[in-house]
Amino acid sequence: MARLTANGIGIEYDIHGPEGGEPVVLVMGLGAQMIRWSMDMVGDLAGRGYRVVRFDNRDVGL
């Protein structure tokens, strides 16, 4: 997983799929980590050519 920092706040994220793929951003509901998105589903979307981005909401997860 990667981490970005903006305005002093760190957010964990990861990206799967081809660089040129159409982006799909998975936003998890309140209070749940990005890892709740099944890797089977993420892998299926990436395998179909999508660039899948998932992230932890602020103050949730890593």
The residue with tokens 């990861």 is 14
**Could you give the strand order of the β-sheet that contains 51-55, starting from the edge strand earlier in sequence?**
2-6, 9-16, 51-55, 23-26
Q: What confidence tens digit (pLDDT) does each residue in 29-56 have? A: 888 899 999 999 999 999 999 999 999 8
> How many C-alpha atoms does 50 have within 13 Å on its Cβ side?
14
Residue 24 C-alpha from the chain's centroid: 9
Give the global pTM: 0.85
User: Which has more pLDDT, 33 or 59?
Assistant: 33
Which tokens hold the place of 58? Answer: 């602020």
Q: What confidence tens digit (pLDDT) does each residue in 8-24 have? A: 989 899 999 999 999 99
